Amino acid sequence: MTSSAFERTSPRDRETLDRLLAAAGAGRVLIRGATVISMDPAVGDLPRGDILIEGSRIEAIGSDLGAAASQGQAVVVEAAGCIAIPGLVDAHRHCWQTQMRRLLADAGIAEYNDFFHFQLGPVYRPEDMYLGTKLAALGAVDSGVTCVLDFSHNMRTPAYSDSVVEAWKDSGLRSVVASCPPLGGEWDQSWRRDFARVREEHFPSDDGLVTLRMAFMARAIPEIQGDVCLSVEGIREARELGIGVTVDGVIGPEVSAHIKELGGALGPDVTWIHCGDLDREAWKILVETGGKVVLAVTSDQQLAIAGSIAPIQDVLDAGLRPGLSVDVECSLTTDMFTQMQVVLNVQRMLAGNRAAAGEEEAPAPISVRDALEFATIASAKANGVWDRCGSLTPGKEADLVLIDAEAINNFPLNNAIATVVLGSDARNVDTVFVAGRPMKWGGGLLAGDDAALRRQVVESRDRLLGEIGRGLDVTGPAVSGFEVAGLAPDGKR
């Protein structure tokens, strides 16, 4: 058997990795010879360039930084044949549910809500929260995501909150814990008064890899009331603690009315997720108050949320730039490449359809750069971490990804951004740095994915399903929510 005629120009050798690990994020690192897509207009993009990292931060970006690196005896990472991009940022994922990946493949939103919030959520234990969250973190970093907003809406006791925070700190990934009380089932009603304890005990400052936001649901689901719903009091409490607010379930006329009621209490520290079927006045308030918007494009389509068409054009017409999110792995993909591809395809499809119908004011199609901006810059702003990630900018944390542009599905490299957005998937994520520390190297995760975790995840899944009397048939038809929850097709029992 002859060797391949095609040789990688940037092998990930073990010696370099050992030196990086020994530096423990405190030394100098030179990423050399990559195609650099910085997403920072002041830095620009480089067909071939270097990125110099000092400790956890980006020191410089330029066409040749070899001299500067040699002064500090930098560890050199050869990156010819790779595209360097900012780490992708997921602005909304429910990580505690990850044991149930793709279990609800054919479910709708009513069935999802019933299954997770009124059946399964109440039988979760703190250790199940930890395992689901840890697994989600590993899947994220494996696919080039360096920051996740974890909308964790199953905080039944203080122990649940502690387990989620512990999982993220153990993961080494940049994360924003958006803590929210449960939507259904019994819980100890301590979340509101315990939040200040979580802030003081786990987040005495905001300069760590893991940060905190207060999370609420919009007034969209009749069964959800009380502390779970966004209120003026909740916004005020978050501001007193110096943290932002993220709101999920922002869908429909009831939520439009809710936004109008809140009015002047809103501000740029509030992020809104989904935003389907809002009226013009609600959009005007979001814009005037500086709110950030996060789309869950595949979620809206797959789970039939708000007419199954994500409000991409509504966001753009309002003059906003949306962040992107995975939402629920129980029904959807793990990666952000899919989110970029779908938001691009759907917006261009709808815009093109309007133009083909002769509409004079049909919107312009977005570009591949727009899609990458949504998954980096806009998502970082929505998560409240734009000051530290979302672009390759000197002074920011060194959260970056090397995409293999010489893999057979990407070669030859003709357009770097299009290769990232349209050509790549998780297998092309060669190397990942978070705050200057390597998390993935040569296509493999460096920590966390071990036999013990895999065994514990399976045990957790089996116990949880057993608690609600549910078996598992991995080769059967994709499970619908109607089968799981025992609901009629209209979502009623």
| 1 found inside a domain | no
**Tokens 């290769």 sit on residue:** 419
Q: What pLDDT, on the 0 to 100 scale, is given for residue 128?
A: 98
Closest CA to 117 of 248, 10, 210, 243: 248
Distance CA 421, CA 401 (A): 13
Compute how many other C-beta atoms are within 10 angstroms of the C-beta atom of residue 252.
20
Q: What three-state secondary structure class fits 473? A: coil
Distance CA 361, CA 401 (A): 38
Q: Are 31 and 53 in contact (CB under 8 A)?
A: yes
Q: Do 124 and 257 belong to one domain?
A: yes
Q: Could you tell me the residue range of the domain that residue 374 belongs to?
A: 88-383
Q: Do 158 and 18 belong to one domain?
A: no
Looking at the structure of the chain, the number of domains it has is 2
Distance CA 114, CA 261 (A): 28
Distance CA 480, CA 473 (A): 13
Q: Are 91 and 323 in contact (CB under 8 A)?
A: yes
CATH number, domain at 184?
A: 3.20.20.140
Amino acid at site 293: V
Distance CA 134, CA 449 (A): 10
Q: Do 207 and 282 belong to one domain?
A: yes
Q: Indicate the helix (H) or strand (E) that contains 51.
A: strand 45-54
| 492 found inside a domain | no
Distance CA 15, CA 187 (A): 51
Own/partner pairs for 110-113, CB < 8 Å, 24+ apart? 110/481, 110/487, 110/490, 110/491, 111/480, 111/481, 111/482, 111/484, 111/485, 111/487, 111/491, 112/303, 112/328, 112/330, 112/331, 112/481, 113/183, 113/221
Distance CA 312, CA 327 (A): 16
pLDDT-based confidence at residue 488 (cuts at 50, 70, 90): very low
Q: Do 235 and 322 belong to one domain?
A: yes
| 349 found inside a domain | yes
Query: Which of 359, 383, 407 is at the close of a domain?
Result: 383
Query: Which of 445, 460, 481 is at the close of a domain?
Result: 445
Q: Do 420 and 377 belong to one domain?
A: no
Q: Do 150 and 47 belong to one domain?
A: no
| 99 found inside a domain | yes
Q: Are 438 and 21 in contact (CB under 8 A)?
A: yes
Amino acid at site 74: A
Task: Read off the pLDDT of each residue in 352-356 and give the average, rounded to a whole number.
Answer: 97
Distance CA 352, CA 192 (A): 47
Percent over 90 (pLDDT), the chain: 85
Tens-digit pLDDT profile for residues 154-184: 999 999 999 999 999 999 999 999 999 999 9
Closest CA to 328 of 168, 86, 85, 121: 121
Q: In this predicted model, which residue has the larger pLDDT, 7 or 66?
A: 66
Where would I find the H helices in 40-121? Answer: 66-71, 109-113
Q: Do 407 and 336 belong to one domain?
A: no
| 264 found inside a domain | yes
pLDDT-based confidence at residue 198 (cuts at 50, 70, 90): very high
Compute how many other C-beta atoms are within 10 angstroms of the C-beta atom of residue 411.
14
Q: Do 305 and 429 belong to one domain?
A: no
DSSP 8-state secondary structure symbol assigned to residue 353: H
Tens-digit pLDDT profile for residues 212-236: 999 999 986 666 667 899 999 999 9
Rg (CA), the chain: 22
CATH number, domain at 48?
A: 2.30.40.10
pLDDT over threshold 60, residue 332: yes
pLDDT over threshold 90, residue 460: yes
Work out whether strand 75-78 and strand 429-434 pair parallel, antiparallel, or are unpaired. unpaired
Q: What pLDDT, on the 0 to 100 scale, is given for residue 11?
A: 56
Distance CA 80, CA 77 (A): 9
Q: Do 168 and 244 belong to one domain?
A: yes
Tens-digit pLDDT profile for residues 41-89: 999 999 999 999 999 999 999 999 988 777 668 899 999 999 999 999 9
pLDDT over threshold 50, residue 484: no
